[in-house]
Structure 1
Amino acid sequence: MEAQTIAEALILGLVEGLTEFIPVSSTGHILLLGHFIGFDNPGKTFEVLIQLGAILAILSVYFARLLNILLALPRDPRTQRFVAGILLAFLPAAVIGFFAHGFIKTVLFESPQLICTTLLVGGIILLIIDRLPLKPRYDEITDYPLSLCFKIGCCQVLAMVPGVSRSGATIGGALLLGTDKRSAAEFSFFLAMPTMTGAFALDLYKNYDILSADDVAVISIGFVTAFLAGVAVVRWLLGYVAQHGFALFAWWRILVGTLGFAGLYFLG
């Protein structure tokens, strides 16, 4: 394995971990960056499979809470409703992702122009949402009604388009549906677990036969880097958004989308 490939995997893994849980689209970032640095991988598997590192980051940070949920699940109706809400929210993306997997990977993932557009448009929408005088009705994720969870899950489907952002779609949708900023971000964390695990499993099933030993090594490097960066972001994000909102991330999306278009124009 070449040193350049290792460096690229480290950089892309770092970008994945830093951007997965903030509303800027990690997939959009690593697809754009991979385009400009010439990173190539079979079936665009690297971008999906390194998300395992981000999944493990959530599991490590929320291990105690997840254990409590698991222990309370057989007897506590509130916990049972919360778990049902997460699974219900996961359902729309699971169904559409399964049937549209080929189109997403072979068409949407191959359009840097689309990614730049969705980054820009998503940034503007996020700015608007952040400035709306919304009045939250829900501030605790275990109190979310099942109907609300399902609607947030429908919003997550928009993130099938690279550049939209899974966390951006779920958090933005949750805010418009009456949640506060902190609980919206936290619900997005929990919803990420089945969603990203499902995407990982489906992509591995579809592409395991085209992966070489070198591909597995490169993915492993990216996944470890994504894990370490993801842990730092998960620990920091909830406190930040509760105090400052999402304007920083919206402006970042607009900046990256603009630079992406400039790069495509001048560099191709």
Structure 2
Amino acid sequence: MTDAIKAIILGIIEGLTEFLPVSSTGHLVLAGDLLKFEGDTAVTFKIVIQLGAVLAVLLLYWKKYLHIGVNMLKMDFAKSKGLNAIHMFLAMIPALIVYLFFKDMIKTHLFGPEPVLIGLVAGAILMIFAARSRGTKTADTVDHLNYKQAFGIGLFQCLALWPGFSRSGSTISGGLLLGTSQKAAADFTFLISVPVMFGASLLDLYDSWDLLNSDALTLMLIGFVTSFVVALIEVVTFIKLIKRLRLEWFALYRFVIAALFYVIVIL
């Protein structure tokens, strides 16, 4: 199997799983292990192709980002109703700071099958616990989120730096535990995914610049385009599913995948 075909397969996996609470990075690590697509360049590839999925969300949610951007330029945070740039910054800061200080350790020690399987199981347990929480819901939509909830969701997003936990699974679970509806948490997850993933990908590209030759860039472009197209279809198709289907079903899937890959990869 050529590297180009491997890049297409991984791009499809990225696009299908990025916005589902099943961990796209975890799936990429496990699939990369099966495809023998490994090494420093492969790790960078798995992070950079997320930009394709980011572009899909930006294209679909451009009006919301434009609204937030206009309010930011006006410095009209206090008077503006609903979601604004402060919510976004509060949710972004924790994960970006943690990634900045621990990215080398994360890439060296956590991008392997064993850590991913641990993350899949631990993330599934968190999702079940969050789905069964019975706290009062104070935010039915993303525009009802307060700053404390936004920051708290940002703290939960730090868990997603462990491949297998899932960014959407962690943030939606955090939202539920902090008093938001699943719909509000899912919408907020989509919106903060763009700046967080964009920033992480740019940092990784900068750190891995010496590894990028023409062949590596070609593979990343193939993966990027594939993940963009698939993610565009996936977000449009499955966005309602993510908001309505209880997290336990995604947790069950994670248990099954973890068990399956444990038998295939570990044993």
1:202-241 equivalences under 5 Å are 202-241=203-242
Figure out how many residues of one structure are paired with residues of the other and give that number. Answer: 263
Matched residue, 1:30: 28
CA–CA separation in structure 2 for the residues paired with 1:181 and 1:86: 18
1:52-201 equivalences under 5 Å are 52-73=51-72, 74=74, 75=76, 77-78=79-80, 82-109=84-111, 111-201=112-202
- In structure 1, list runs of 5 or more residues that go unmatched: none
Over the matched positions of the two proteins, sequence identity in percent amounts to 36
**Residues 236/134 of structure 1: CA separation in 2 closer, same or farther (3 Å cut):** farther
Give the match's secondary structure for 2:203: helix
Q: Per-residue deviation at 1:79?
A: 5.7
CA–CA separation in structure 2 for the residues paired with 1:173 and 1:256: 23
- In structure 2, list runs of 5 or more residues that go unmatched: none
CA–CA separation in structure 2 for the residues paired with 1:112 and 1:83: 37
Farther-moved stretch of structure 1 (169-178 vs 124-133): 124-133
Answer yes or no: is the 8 Å Cα contact 2:14–2:24 preserved in 1.
yes
Return structure 1 stretches of 4+ with deviation > 3 angstroms: 131-135
TM-score scaled by length of structure 2: 0.92
Amino acid at match of 1:83: A
Matched residue, 2:5: 7
- RMSD value, Cα: 1.8
CA–CA separation in structure 1 for the residues paired with 2:171 and 2:18: 13
Answer yes or no: is the 8 Å Cα contact 1:9–1:218 preserved in 2.
yes
Give the match's secondary structure for 1:45: helix
Offset from partner CA, 1:159-213 (integer Å, 9 cap, x none) = 1111011111111000110000111001001111111011111000100111110
Offset from partner CA, 1:35-71 (integer Å, 9 cap, x none) = 1110134341011010110110101111233223333
Answer yes or no: is the 8 Å Cα contact 1:72–1:79 preserved in 2.
no
Farther-moved stretch of structure 1 (194-203 vs 118-127): 118-127
TM-score scaled by length of structure 1: 0.92
